[in-house]
Amino acid sequence: MTRINDVGRRFTGGATIFAALIAATLLTASPALAGPPLLCFPFNIGTARTLPMGPNGWHDTDHTYDVSKLIDDTIALLGPGTPVIVRMETLRRATLYAGTDRAIAAALLAKLEARAAQRQSDVALAVFDFGYLVETYRQAASMFKNTLPSVEAIDGYGLVQKAYVFSRDAEIAFASAIIAAYPKRADFDAHRRDALAGAKTDALLSANIATHLSNP
């Protein structure tokens, strides 16, 4: 794999206290994001590996990165041991790169769709990846009007919910809340509650809830 790097900061200690603090402050919270949250607001992934980015904000891709390697690099990063929040950030970055090349954008979508249809032990994650990319493409459509394939006929949110039924992963609940926040869906509060419950034992999830689902 080429030019995949380590990003972010390490979170250590105080997970339970931090999670409890967040739960106490967010019980009546609503999302406070301006702009498409799946695209414009990077997720904190600690020291996990993901696609490279430039130093100048959420949209600054690495101009030395070979975009022809995007599909292989993205699939390699979405292994069965990759946490959901890392998958979310990887797919956010992949969308920014895919927005520069119509053929690569379509091929990435098709690749994740094919993975989601295969019988495999980590099928829930494969279904999540496809659904989450669909929703990220949907939110990115206004930015990349002539590049990203249309996903209007695909229920990405429904696929993410199917993945949650399979795995009951609190980070998928967090992803669901982020999707449901823009535009606001009736299930947003339930997703947030499930994410908060899981954050009691997941410091990185707690940190992302604090930055992405903050107090109004």
Using CA atoms, how far apart are residues 148 and 133, in angstroms rounded to an integer?
11
Which helix (H) or strand (E) is 50 found in, with range? strand 49-50
- Position 28 scores a pLDDT of 33
Report how far residue 102's alpha carbon sits from residue 144's, in angstroms, rounded to the nearest whole number.
Answer: 10
**In the predicted model, is pLDDT for residue 11 greater than 50?**
no
How many other β-carbons are positioned within 10 Å of the β-carbon of residue 23?
A: 16
User: Contact at 8 Å (CB) between 116 and 108?
Assistant: no
- pTM here is 0.84
The residue type of 37 is P
* pLDDT beyond 60 at 88: yes
Q: Write down the pLDDT at residue 131.
A: 98
